[in-house]
Amino acid sequence: MAGFFCKIAAMHIIVTGGAGFIGSNLIRTLLNQQPDIKVTCIDNFDNFYSADIKQNNIKDFKLHPNFRFLFLDISNTSSVELCDAITEVVDAIVHIAAKSGVRPSIANPLAYQKTNVIGLQHILDFAKQKKVKQFVFSSSSSVYGINDHFPWKEEEQLLPISPYAMTKLSGEMLGHVYSSLYGIRFIALRFFTVYGPAQRPDLAIHKFTKTILKGEAITMFGDGSTSRDYTYIDDIVQGIHAALQYDKSDFEIINLGNNYSVSLMELIQAIEETVGKKAIIEQLPEQAGDVPKTFADISKAKKLLNYQPRTSLSDGLKKFYQWFKEHEEMLMQY
């Protein structure tokens, strides 16, 4: 992946949610590719999934001289407290910390509001006080809701159908407010179904792989025709890295996807081929809050960020499976 990046100047970057899937992959790339960059990782090891997995995500760079970890819950930490904890200059913030998951958000919408909106408010107030110029926000393709104007362009009408999606749309608009009032450059990246090494255990590719290997039935909601634009983690990291350097405007919303959609049944078949074992499928009704299809138009990302997804689903699944086998003993416990 080294050849995909243009080096950026020495910076101090804060990555919230840095012990999670996307955050840890971003931090690893930043530290490996640019030894003069300093990274402060903020995470609270939210119990949505095991803290052991998150500890494993960051173990390789916990002793790196340019890495610092802060155990903080952004929803309960004020901007003043953040300033007390981080006294040095901050050049950029990549805000990934959030409560994730469409279905759990329906069961507990207030928790998502607290972390995803109030938590972002605290981080933006911190950015204002520290005069941080660059703010990259992880949004989601879920903000589009049910929309058959494929592929989705950023200017589409947005009709979220889950509390999680609503909080991500709220985050984009909160960023616009702070960009307008305080001159913070706010780049919202709408991620489309990210997968790869360190993927969360609740997400389909990870969950299906583990279940197939155990010889248990996987749950397929609906008839298998729902589809997603699966995007490999290295391509997402490439997009985030480019967004850290973007300086042509002070507010942008940009899709980061793979520009093609794969049905759930096609995904299951691809995982079967990757692991060399057939799946046992238990078909269940479609779930409330799930959209039938996601499909990103990435022309804006190509134009503004020189974004070029390079990883096919087949290659990405092989890389994920290699990581899974390397950590199988731990992962099978959860």
According to DSSP, the residues that pair with 188 across neighbouring strands are: 137, 253
Residue 1 tokens read as 């992946």
**Cα pseudo-dihedral 167, 172, 176, 179, rounded to 10:** 110
- Find, among 60, 184, 202, the residue nearest to 120 by Cα: 184
Cβ atoms of 146 and 292 closer than 8 Å:
yes
User: Is the dihedral angle over the CA atoms 154, 23, 258, 279 positive or is it negative?
Assistant: negative
234: alpha, beta or left? (left if phi > 0; alpha if psi -120 to 50): alpha
Q: Among candidates 37, 139, 142, which has minimal Cα distance to 92?
A: 37
Q: Which helix (H) or strand (E) holds 138?
A: strand 134-140
What's the burial of 109, exposed, middle or buried (CB within 10 Å: 0-12/13-18/19+)?
middle
CB 104 within 8 A of CB 47: no
User: In DSSP terms, which residues pair with 93 in a beta bridge?
Assistant: 14, 135
**ω into 160 cis (within 30 of 0):** no
164 classed as catalytic: yes
49, 112, 144, 164: the active-site residue? 164
- The string of DSSP codes covering 174-198 is HHHHHHHHH--EEEEEEE-SEESTT
Cite the active site residues. Answer: 164
